[in-house]
Structure formats: structure tokens, C-alpha cells
Amino acid sequence: MANTTYMRGRWDLNGLRNRPQAILWSDNFGTIDDTVYVNPITSASTSLQLTVPVGDEYDEFIILSDHNRKELSFSKQRLENRQRMINGTMRSYHIADKLNMSVSWDMLPSRSFNKDPDFNDNTGKPTASNLEYYTVDGGAGGAELLNWYEDHPGPFWMLLAYDKYTDFSGANQYNYLSQYNQIIQVYFSSFDYDVVKRGGTNHDLWNISCTVEEV
């Protein structure tokens, strides 16, 4: 089962210590777990409340890779009833703003590891012997993304981590890069992939693009 130690262990990419990959897909919106982050350089400690998905990786959630990932493209759909009045002014009855997000990968390995990583629940580190990484950060490969798409014709949760500090409040609002700042329920709008290169006996390389739409 995932916990804060597990999740932070999975994010331990050189140069991005304690900062998650940009996207996580989950069957649930997660739970808040308290943890203490110790800066490896200064040894200073900071209390955090981290959102942790409930369940086991690859079954209830997957961490998407930043390997050759292109930009996150956001668009907002404003649901409203807008009408011009007889005096020429515009009035609107606003219902909601809904988010569409597109993301793509170039030359993404078809699998994240050469075999089952057998993740250690305590550290989030793969424990299988002779394990080889195919994605640079151990995030989901192409076939794992496709499997999630095929298994989820209905809604699922998407956790996003990018610098949107205004989602937080208080004097400490600038110090939340280590947390997910946006959690939304989405449907797949599209999922397209190309098998660009066959990789012989280890893995293939895929181009993938997908779009999700907020429920």
C-alpha cells in the first residue's frame, strides 16, 4: 500500500528530489498523510500534508513518466448562459469552468522496467534483482498507459503537480512544490499511440498523445 515514504521514494529523480512527476492517475482521490521532509542539503525539516493514492501501484494508480514528455496543454471550457440585454450590456449566468488537458510523449519506452519491479512498500524503491530502468524515472511506459486507458472507460482521478502556488494559502504558500496542487476527476477524450521503433528483445519506443476532460 502506498504511503508518504513510498511516494517520496518513487519521486527520487536526480535534480528533482522530493518533487513528484507531473501527473498521476488513480482510481481514488487519495488521502492526506502527514510527513516530515528533511532537506538533504541543509538538514532542515518541514512538516507536509501529502496526498497519497489509496492502493497498490499499477492496480489502483499509476505514476506517469516525465521521460520525453512534452508540455501539459490546458484549456478551459466556461459553461454559462450569456445574453445581451436590451440596453446593449452583456449578462451571464455562470455555471462552472471545466478543464481539458492534453499531454504527449515522444519515444516513450513501452515498459518502465525490464521485469516486475516488486516495489517495496516501505521505501517505494524497486527491489527486484538485476532490475533495469527503461523510463528515466521509473514512471509508466507506453503499454502501461494503454492498459490504464483500456481499463478505464469511466471516470478516474488525475493528480497534477506544477507550480500553481495560488491553489494554496497562508504565509507558506510558496513552499508546496513537493505536493500535488490540483486533483480533478476526468474522462478520456482521446488516446492515440504510434509504435515508432521496435526495440528488439527489450522494449519498443512509442509516441503517445492523450486528452482528458474534467467530469
CA dihedral sign, ordered 75, 78, 83, 87:
negative
Q: Is the pLDDT of residue 15 over 70?
A: no
At residue 66 the predicted structure's pLDDT band, cuts being 50, 70 and 90, is very high
- pLDDT, one tens digit per residue, over 150-170 is 999 999 999 999 988 888 877
79 near 86, Cβ under 8 Å?
A: no
Which range has the top average pLDDT, 88-97, 124-133, 137-146? 137-146
At residue 109 the predicted structure's pLDDT band, cuts being 50, 70 and 90, is very high
Q: Is the pLDDT of residue 38 over 60?
A: no
Q: Identify the CA nearest to 135 among candidates 104, 105, 111, 118.
A: 111
- pLDDT, one tens digit per residue, over 178-207 is 788 889 999 999 999 999 998 778 899 999
Q: Is the pLDDT of residue 44 over 60?
A: no
> Range of 21's domain?
4-214
pTM of the model: 0.86
30 class by beta-carbon count within 10 Å (0-12 exposed, 13-18 middle, 19+ buried): buried
- The total number of structural domains that make up the chain: 1
The order of strands in the sheet holding 90-109 is 61-63, 23-26, 156-160, 182-197, 205-214, 90-109, 73-84
